[in-house]
Amino acid sequence: MIPVQGVEDQTIAVLGLGRSGRATVAALAEGGARVIAWDDGQDTREAAIAQGIEIADLTRDAAWDGVRALIVSPGIPHLYPRPHPVIAQAYARGVPVDNDVGLFFRSYASADWEGFDRAPRVVAVTGSNGKSTTTALIHHILSEAGRPVQMGGNIGTGVLSLDPAIDGEVVVLELSSYQTDLARALTPDVAVFTNLSPDHLDRHGGYGGYFAAKRRLFAEGGPDRAVIGVDEPEGQYIANQLGMGPSDDRVIRISSGQKLERYGWSVFARKGFLSEWRKGRQAGSIDLRGIGGLPGAHNHQNACAAYAACRALGLAPRQIEAAFHSFRGLPHRSQLVAEIGGVRYVNDSKATNVDAAAKALQAFDRIRWIAGGLGKEGGIAGLVPHLGRVSKAYLFGHSARDFAMELNGLPHEVVETLAQATERAHAEAEPGETVLLAPAAASFDQYPNFEKRGEDFMRVVEGLA
Binding residues for ATP: 127-133
Q: Which residue intervals of 174-316 are DSSP H helices?
A: 177-182, 201-204, 207-219, 233-242, 296-312
Beta bridge partners of 266: 253, 277
Q: Which residue intervals of 173-232 are DSSP H helices?
A: 177-182, 201-204, 207-219
The SS3 assignment for 311 reads helix
Cα dihedral sign, 79-81-219-73? positive
Q: Which strands, in side-by-side order, build the sheet including 67-72?
A: 34-38, 11-15, 67-72, 97-98
Closest CA relative to residue 2, chosen from 24, 21, 17, 18: 24
* Cα–Cα distances in angstroms (integers) from residue 255 to residues 29, 126, 227, 260, 362, in the given order: 44, 15, 10, 8, 16
Q: Which residues contact 71 (CB under 8 A, 6 or more apart)?
A: 12, 13, 14, 15, 24, 28, 97, 98, 99, 100, 103
Closest CA relative to residue 105, chosen from 217, 242, 270, 206: 217
* Cα–Cα distances in angstroms (integers) from residue 451 to residues 68, 179, 447, 454, in the given order: 37, 20, 9, 5
323, 147 Cβ separation under 8 angstroms: no
Instruction: Return d(Cα 16, Cα 123) in angstroms, integer.
Output: 26
The SS3 assignment for 313 reads coil
What b/e sequence results for 371-385 when a residue is b if at least 16 CB atoms lie within 10 Å of its CB, and e otherwise?
A: bbbbbbeebbebbee
Enclosing H/E stretch for 455: helix 450-464
Q: Which residues contact 358 (CB under 8 A, 6 or more apart)?
A: 382, 383, 386
Pairing of strands 190-193, 225-229: parallel
Binding residues, by number, are 127-133
Q: What is the DSSP letter of 175?
A: -
10, 33 Cβ separation under 8 angstroms: yes
